[in-house]
Structure formats: C-alpha cells, structure tokens
Structure 1
C-alpha cells in the first residue's frame, strides 16, 4: 500500500500541475475572444466571467485525459531516471502490477470526466447558450459604454457618448460616425463616404414592431468623403438613428446542450454521434493510461523527455481519429453499431502491443548484454 500511495500521489500531483497549466492556456485564449466581442459592444462585460464559468466543465473534460497522460509520462519518467523504478522492480514490482496501481487514479479521473461529459458540460452549454441569446437580443444602445468609442456593424459604425444615465435612457454628448455603401448591384459593398452625427443629447424610442431608434436632439449631420472638402452640413433639432442588433458569434452547437438522457435511445445519427462522443471521453482515460505506462519507461542515460514527443503525437492521432470518426458518424457514413468504438479498439490493441513488447524487449536486451559480456571474457 505504501508503494501504491506513493505512485498515485506522484501521478495525481503531476496531473494537477499539467491540467492547471493547460486550463489557463485554453481559458485565456477563449477569454480574449469574448473580451474582444465585449470591446466591440457585442457582449456585456458583466457576463464574461459567467460564460467562462459555465464553459469550464467543457474545457476540463478534454484537459483531464491529456493531463493524466502527460502526468504518467512525466511522473514515471522521473522515477525511471532516478532509478526508483529499478529498485521497485528488484523488490517484485512487475509491469502488470504497475499498470494495476496506475489504473486506480485513472479510474478516479474517468469518473470525474464522465460526470463532466454526461452531466455538467451539457448543463453549462445550455446556460452559455441562454446568455448568448440574451446578448444577441441587445442593441447598440444597451451595450454602449460612456467615454469610449465603440465600433459596431463590423467597424462600419463608431459610436461615442460622454455620459449615460443610470437607467440607460438618456445620453449626452453623442458622436456617431457611419460609413455609407453603394446600393448599386454592380458596386455593391463599395464605400461611398461617411456620415458624422453629433448631438447634445439623445434618448431611445421603441416602436410597436420592436424596432429601436436613438432620437438625437440639437445637433449636426455631416456627409462627405475623407480627404475632400465637399462636406454637406445639416443642422437638426430631432434626428432618428436605427439601432441594429449586434450578432454574437456562437460556436456552440445545439446538440451539445441536449441532456444525455434525451440522447439515449435516439435513432438520429447526430444524436448518436454526440452520445458516443460523451461516452468516449471516460473510456479514453483508460486507453491512454494503457498507452502511457509502457511509453513512460526510459533509459536513465537518455532522459525522460525522449519518448515525450512521440507519445504526444500518438495521443494527438488518437484524438484526431476520434474527432474525424465523430464527423463521419454525424453524416451517417459510419454505421451506428461501429460508431467510435473501433477507434478505441485500435488504440487498445496498440497499447497492449506496447505493454507486451516492453518486457520482451528488456529480456532480449538483457540476454544480448550477457552474451556480449561472456564473449568479452572469453
């Protein structure tokens, strides 16, 4: 039990460190994307951390298997490098017992990823979809931040206001710059100049059909082309500006939010692909554990990073093949009975081959070394 606790602690500590680093990297990239949308006025900055929190289970379900795989490689690689595994082998630690001990933390990770994949991740996707749908219903007026130039409509409009009332009903010191495009079909999307609106104050008006307008008061409108002196200036007392709804890019598919119980028993190929993908993640944990244990064995003279790159490439091939098979199953090109299971079977055979080849290779190397020593003494 002492050896079991020691090996499990080494694997779990390395798993935690690796997973934490990967989680920070992935969440930072996604947070920057959402932050850019908030800077453009497409998202309310107040919901950014809520979105990241609900996306956390979806990130962890893919990070934990990779973290376990790298954790086994790094932890056991260090033990081989420090000759601790040699000592354990001399006291009766076989490869089968080492694999059995390693399967215990792997089972813990599999239970956690299964809970995330089958339960928490779909719930989180549902909440993120709800938040993004709410943000999609917002207008330029709802996302406006006083004292900041805010680009809208893919940069074709820039809006600014000096101050905004607490109920977001009144603006003061309004500036709007909008590019004009040709309506001629032959010159479609060709820029035809800009329109600049300035006003002392403004307010929002909602029509009966749901459309919203920003009513500007006491201001000027300037029309012209940059670099030319033929601007036209119009003074107005009241001017209405249509507030378009910003489109928030949502990369989350609808089926990812479907509860697992609704996927069970469905004949829809897309639902079956999603169900098998969710079941594949905890199964992936056990297969990569079988792959990692023989790959972690290194020669102390070679260093523990020798097999790290080939092992990562093997893991990437496993995951890429799973994703590709999922896409084919989604399109109905793979029978549902075959599904994604053949990918797990293939890499299970690879893991068994590596696991059986390692002791055989060591025996052959030992016999070769004995023969060389005998030949040298002769």
Structure 2
C-alpha cells in the first residue's frame, strides 16, 4: 500500500504540473485571439473571461489524457533513472503489477475526463453560444472604447471617440474614416469629424449614429481633389460586428440528446465523447512500458518517440471521426478500432521482453530437437 501511494502521488503530481503548463499555453493563445477581436470592437471586453471560463472544460478534456501520458513517462522515467524501479523489481514488483497500480490514478483521470466531456464541456459551449448570440446583437456603438482607434467592418472603417457617456448614448470628439468598396466609382475614402454624436434607433430596429457640427471629407489619398462638406447633423448606419469564434454546433448538444439518435454525425459525436475517458486507460498501457529507460541513456530518450506515438493515436482518432461523419466507416466500427489498435500496441510493448524470451526458448528447444535427430 505504501508503494501504491508513492507511485500514485508521483504520477498525480507530475500530471498536475504538466496539465497546468499545457492549459496555460493553450488558453493564452486563445485569449490573445479573443483579445484582438475585442480590440477591434467585435467582442465586448467584459465577456472575454466568461468565454474563457466556459471553454476551459473543453480544453481540459483533451489536456488531461496528454498530461497523464506525460506524467507517467516523466515520473517513472525518474524512478528508473534513480534506480528506484530496480529496487522495486528486486522486491517483486513486476510490470504487470506496476500497470495495475498505475491504472488507479488513470481511473481518477478517466472519471474526471468523462464528467468534462459528457457534461461540462457541452454545457460550457452552449453558454458560449448564448454569449456570442448576444454579441451578434451589438453594434459598433456598443463596442466603442473612448480614446482608442478601432477597426470595424472588416477593417474598412476606423472609429474614434474622445469621450463616451456612462450610458453609452452620447459621444464627444468623433472621428470616422471609411474606405469605399473597390468597385465604387467616385471617392476612395470618406472621413467624418464631429464635435458630438448620439445613438438613434429607428422603428425597424436599425441604429444610426447621429453626428452634429462637423465636416465630411471625400477623396483619394494622395490626390488634391478632396471634397469638403460642412454639416449640422449627419447620420451613420451602425453595422453589427461579425463574431468569428470556432464553435461547432454538435459540440454544444447535450449528451442525453445524442444517445439513441440515428443521425450519423450525432453518433460520431457521442463516440468521440466516450473515447476521451477511454483514451486515458489506453495511454496508461502505452506509457508504462515506454517509461522504462536505462539509467545511462537518460530519462528523455523515449520521450520524443512516445509523444509521436500519442500524436499518431489522437490524429487517427480525429481522422476516424471524420470518416464516420462522411459515412466511410460503419457506425458499429466507429472509433473503437483505433482504441483496440493502440491497446494492442501497448500490450505488445508491455510484454515484449516476455515474448522475446519465449521465442528464444522455443527456438532453443527446436534446435535441441533437431540436434537429437
């Protein structure tokens, strides 16, 4: 029991450290992307942390199996390097028993991944979809930040306001630069400046920014044929920003709705969600024999081949999911054959030394039989 607790603690501590690093890396990349959209006025900055929080279960369901795989490799690799595994082997610790001990923390990870993939991740993506629907109802006016130039309407419009009231209804010191479509004849760039502005909602629901006491400049950059118009009141249509966040519709469907569905894509999504906790068990069978290293070789010798093997496993799962979506794989076969293939590879790696010994003994016996004849 002491050895079991020691091995489990080593695996879980390393798993937690690796998973935390991977989570920070992935979430930082996504957060920077969403932050860029908020800077462009596409997303409200106030919802960024909500989106990241609701998407975290979707990140964790993929990170935890990889963290478990790397955690076993690093933890057991250190034990082999420090000759602790040699001492355990001398006291009767076989690789099969080591695998059974390792399956206990793997069970904890698999249960957590199952909770994430079957419940939390779809629910979180549903909340993200709700937030994005609310963002689609916003206009450029709702995403303005005072004192900042913002590129809107796919970069064709740049808007700036020096002041913005707390209720976001009044502006002061407004600047708008808009590039006309390439096919439009006449003027290339339109610049609007105004002392103040306000938002006005029409009966049909469209919104306008009403500018007061300003000028309009039309012309082509580099030419001297600019047209200047002075106005007392000028209306600008406020377009709704296009929110672009990768979000699949199937991923947000509750698992209970996928069960029993005859739709092939629904069955593929359900098998994918069930595959993630199963992935934790299979990578454990792969990692235990791959963690075995010679102290003279170093603990990182097999790390790169092991990561490549994991990438091949995950890539084949994703490819099989795509084949199943397109009807190239029968639903009965689905994704299970991929797990079976890599489970077989893990068992071969685990019992490779025993198989080699058995083969040599068989060969020696066959040679002795021939010599007697």
Question: How far apart are residue 363 of structure 1 and its match?
Answer: 8.9
Partner of 2:156: 156
| Counterparts of residues 185-334 of structure 1 (less than 5 Å) | 193-334=188-329
**SS in structure 1 of the partner of residue 102 of structure 2:** helix
Structure 1 consecutive aligned stretches of length 4 or more whose deviation exceeds 6 Å:
362-365
Q: Which residue of 2 aligns with 1:373?
A: none
Note the 1:116-135 alignment, pairs <5 A.
116-135=116-135
What is the rounded CA distance, in whole Å, between the counterparts of 1:25 and 1:327 in structure 2?
Answer: 27
Distance in 2, matches of 1:4 and 1:198, equals: 73
Note closer, same or farther for the CA distance 1:360–1:78 as it changes in structure 2 (3 Å cut).
Answer: farther
Q: Is the 8 A contact 1:132 1:248 kept in 2?
A: yes
Aligned counterpart, 1:10: 10
Q: Secondary structure at the match of 2:143?
A: coil
Q: Report the TM-score, using the length of structure 2 for normalisation.
A: 0.94
Alpha-carbon distance in structure 1 between the residues aligned to 2:165 and 2:357: 76
In structure 2, do the counterparts of structure 1 residues 306 and 41 end up closer, same or farther at CA, with 3 Å as the change threshold? same
Structure 2: stretches of 5+ with no match in the other structure: 361-373
Shift, 1:115, TM fit = 0.3
Contact 1:54 1:124 in 2 (8 A): yes
Match of 2:56 in 1: 56
CA distance in 2, matches of 1:261, 1:66: 27
Instruction: Give the secondary-structure state (helix, strand or coil) at the position aligned to 1:142.
Output: helix
- SS of alignment partner, residue 239 of structure 1: strand
Q: Is the 8 A contact 2:200 2:208 kept in 1?
A: yes
Offset, 1:361: 5.2
- Secondary structure at the aligned position of 2:333 is classed as coil
Separation of aligned partners in 1, 2:334 and 2:35: 38
**Contact 2:187-2:218 within 8 A present in 1 as well:** no
Q: Which residue of 2 aligns with 1:174?
A: 174
What SS class does the counterpart of residue 195 from structure 1 fall into? Answer: strand
Separation in 2 of the partners of 1:270 and 1:207? 43
The structure-2 alpha-carbon separation of the partners of 1:360 and 1:301, relative to structure 1 and needing over 3 Å to count, comes to farther
Segment drifting more, 199-208 vs 69-78: 199-208
Q: Would you say the 8 A contact 2:149–2:160 is kept in 1?
A: yes
Residue 38 of structure 1 corresponds to 38
Say if 1:181 and 1:192, in contact at 8 Å, map to a contact too: no
Q: Contact 1:198 / 1:220 at 8 angstroms: preserved in 2?
A: yes
Structure 1 residue runs of 5 or longer lacking an equivalent are 366-378
Indicate the residue corresponding to 1:91 in structure 2: 91
Quote how far apart the aligned CAs of 1:77 are. Answer: 0.4
Distance 2:77 2:357 in 1: 17
Count of residue correspondences: 360
Equivalent runs, 1:359-370 vs 2, <5 Å: 359-360=354-355
Q: 1:100 to 1:152 in 2, by over 3 A?
A: same
- CA RMSD, Structure 1 to Structure 2 (Å): 1.5
State the TM-score, normalizing by the size of structure 1. 0.93
CA distance in 2, matches of 1:75, 1:177: 58
Q: Distance in 2 between matches of 1:109 and 1:56?
A: 16
Q: Secondary structure of the residue that 1:141 maps to in structure 2?
A: helix
Match of 1:346 among 318, 341, 350: 341
Which deviates further from its counterpart, 351-360 or 13-22?
351-360
CA contact (8 A) 1:294 1:358 kept: no
**Alignment partners' CA distance in 2, 1:329 and 1:205:** 51
The structural deviation recorded for 1:250 is 2.6
Q: Contact (CA 8 Å) 2:178, 2:191: kept in 1 or not?
A: yes
Q: Secondary structure at the match of 2:262?
A: coil
Query: In structure 2, how many angstroms separate the alpha carbons of the residues matched to 1:128 and 1:249?
Result: 12
Report whether the alignment pairs 1:355 with 2:350: yes
User: 2:47 & 2:76 partners in 1: Cα distance?
Assistant: 42
Distance 2:358 2:329 in 1: 42
Corresponding position of 1:77: 77
